[in-house]
């Protein structure tokens, strides 16, 4: 399958590498491929230069958002949440129409001052969520691209676990799905199963993404408390 992974950070790299391993034709989308490849230092999250990573994955192509989306049969939004709407606008609604769009982003807002800032695990102020509670990033994406089939999933855990759940507790933990599109849920669920997910809970329509997006503050608190990101939620029935 031709799959576009939009975003060059840790989440995008994890998906692209795993999908390449699974035999898919993967294109990573970015705003400016030349600028992305020209960066020589680590990014704000400490990721190594993308050019070095790409050199280790010769089967993966890098392209502008629109070019990556145009040829794709399925897309994954792995951009930072506060940039997702702009990135998907650049990808083009026509290139998203009729396709499953898996949204793994969290709507972190790094620009709004917090009255009593809580430190993030990296020593900087933790972001607030925007939107939150009465809306979600996933719903905003769906409204902006009504012909796409948005599925919210994988935003509740660390990038390295999204595509390799078996590396924690033999894969005995939980991932969630939210979407208004049954066929897109089935396609996303099949991809999750290929990654190794066994406990996949369908939460319902896309409004339920509000709940999974609001797990982010708990995730950051647990990261601080545990001192690492190698954990996830398990729903015990």
* Digit-coded pLDDT (tens) for 15-52: 999 999 999 999 999 999 999 999 987 776 678 899 99
Q: Cis omega (within 30 of 0) on the bond before 44?
A: no
Residue 237 resides in a domain: no
pLDDT digits (tens, 9 = 90+) for 51-69: 999 999 999 999 999 999 9
Question: 96: domain range?
Answer: 2-226
Residue 126 pLDDT level (bands cut at 50, 70, 90): confident
pLDDT digits (tens, 9 = 90+) for 130-161: 999 999 999 999 999 999 999 999 999 999 99
Residue 231 resides in a domain: no
pLDDT digits (tens, 9 = 90+) for 224-234: 899 999 999 99
Higher pLDDT, 122 or 164: 164
pLDDT digits (tens, 9 = 90+) for 191-204: 999 999 999 999 99
Residue 236 resides in a domain: no
Residue 234 resides in a domain: no
Q: How many Cα atoms occupy the beta-carbon half-sphere of 224 within 13 Å?
A: 14
Predicted confidence (pLDDT) at residue 117 exceeds the cutoff of 70: no
Q: What is the mean pLDDT of residues 211-231?
A: 94
Measuring CA to CA, which residue among 184, 185, 17 is closest to residue 175?
Answer: 185
Number of domains observed in the structure of the chain: 1
Instruction: Specify the pLDDT at position 124.
Output: 67
The region, left, alpha or beta by phi > 0 then psi within -120 to 50, assigned to residue 116 is: beta
Q: Which two tokens stand for residue 80?
A: 């930072």
List the CATH number of the domain containing 55: 3.40.50.720
Question: What is the distance between the alpha carbons of residues 106 and 136, in angstroms, rounded to a whole number?
Answer: 9
- In sequence order, which residues have a C-beta less than 8 Å from that of residue 34 and are 6 or more positions away? none
Residue 233 resides in a domain: no
Residue 213 pLDDT level (bands cut at 50, 70, 90): very high
Instruction: Specify the pLDDT at position 44.
Output: 65
Residue 235 resides in a domain: no
Question: What is the distance between the alpha carbons of residues 48 and 61, in angstroms, rounded to a whole number?
Answer: 18
């Amino acid at each position: 399958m031709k799959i576009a992974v939009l975003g060059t950070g840790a989440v995008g790299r994890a998906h692209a590498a795993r999908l390449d391993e699974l035999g898919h034709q993967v294109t990573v989308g970015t705003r400016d491929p030349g600028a992305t490849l020209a960066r020589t230092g680590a990014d704000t999250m400490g990721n190594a230069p993308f050019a070095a990573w790409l050199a280790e994955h010769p089967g993966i192509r890098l392209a502008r958002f629109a070019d990556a989306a145009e040829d794709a049969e399925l897309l994954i939004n792995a951009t930072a949440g506060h940039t997702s709407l702009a990135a998907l606008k650049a990808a083009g609604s026509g290139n998203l129409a009729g396709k499953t769009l898996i949204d793994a982003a969290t709507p972190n807002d790094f620009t709004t001052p917090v009255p009593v800032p809580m430190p993030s695990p990296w020593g900087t102020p933790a972001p607030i969520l925007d939107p939150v509670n009465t809306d979600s990033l996933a719903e905003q994406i769906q409204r902006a691209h009504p012909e796409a089939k948005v599925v919210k999933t994988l935003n509740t855990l660390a990038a390295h676990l999204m595509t390799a759940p078996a590396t924690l507790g033999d894969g005995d933990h939980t991932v969630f799905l939210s979407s208004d599109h049954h066929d897109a849920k089935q396609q996303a669920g099949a991809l999750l199963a290929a990654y190794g997910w066994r406990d996949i809970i369908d939460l319902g329509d896309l409004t339920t993404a509000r709940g999974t997006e609001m797990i982010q503050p708990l995730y950051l608190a647990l990261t601080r408390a545990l001192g690492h990101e190698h954990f996830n939620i398990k729903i015990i029935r």
